[in-house]
Structure 1
Amino acid sequence: MNQLLKLRRQVRLESTNMLCEIEQFLGAGGQGEVYKANLNGKPVALKWYFPQQATPEQQAALDMIIRRGSPDDKFLWPLGLAFLQNINGFGYLMSLREPRFKGIADLMRRRIEPSFRALATAGLELSHSFLQLHSKGLCYRDISFGNVFFDPDTGEIRICDNDNVTVDGEATGGILGTPRFMAPEVVRGEARPSIQTDLFSLAVLLFYM
């Protein structure tokens, strides 16, 4: 696979003009690629968008999310926009997920065996974190297996892919959700993602857990 960015290249963090060095390719998804990077001695994650996803609308959405700030410390929230000199496109930096956090898919495939206490803690933390997000007038749009991680020993959670967050009632395009987690009215094309449809998706996720 041809990676978008070369290792050891430096990207510039817009808010501070600090340089961040790319160290390792971690993986790719539907919107872009994720790298491990070093920001002034601190390990961080860099998401870099595919050219077709690096739109002015996405950049404006990221600006809004960064300005509003994270609802709580469970979200791996965008820290700042990142750019490369003489190269079109952009990405953003976020905290790097620690290896102790495992995906809900690992739970479904029996790769991990958390205690009931850990699962209950994870469910409570998920519910509280999305309550904090919604209390800021924001909706997540894509609650599913792929965006939530938890520590099977403690139940502590992390929520990623927060660049899809938008102001409730203003989701006019882009992400609609993940099949099996989407509210029926979204599937039928009768509604756009909102706080209310987030609650449906969260209920499905908690049921699987």
Structure 2
Amino acid sequence: MQGTVLMTYAAFACRILLFGVFAVALVGKARGRAAFQEFAASITALRLLPAGASRAAAVLVTAVEAAVVVLLVPSSTVLAGFALAVLLLLALTAGIVLALRRGRSAPCRCFGASVTPLGPVHVVRNLLLALAGTGGLAAMAAGAPDGWPPHLGGSLIAAVSAAVVLLLVVRLDDLTALFAPAPAAPSRTGRPGPS
């Protein structure tokens, strides 16, 4: 019984987290024509697909993000929302890995305007989010009810926890820039000094 209750809260937290991540990503891309054009340009810059197919991929990614947001709201479609979120996250991760292996990078427009190029940290982020989606699926498969958790206090703790993780995910580029090592100071000759 207690395990089922914990699974309910886990599924609820994963649901809120993924809903928030995909909602912020969707708004970041669809808030205006310029935002969408920047996102499409970032996909084209990776040169994984021809230019026309890259634009179609940008439309497809945005549409799937919208579908995930919609599917995670009603209890009757949460499983489909989790599954679609995991599939999209894995596809995006595969694209990032392929681009990095080919030595290509572009700014991460995952959540809108950003100048941070895609890198290993984005692969890890997407894999952790896919793990959250898989955890939500597993919790529901283990018998967690698909509605609201039974107690308000537990629901609030799960929601606040998910919101904190959401904030960290959305601000990941800023956090990694904050903790990145400072570039080497130039020496008197104008060349970077030793590290």
Instruction: Say which structure is richer in strand.
Output: 1
- Output the TM-score relative to the length of structure 1: 0.29
* Structure possessing the higher relative contact order (Cα contacts under 8 Å, 6 or more residues apart): 2
- Output the TM-score relative to the length of structure 2: 0.30
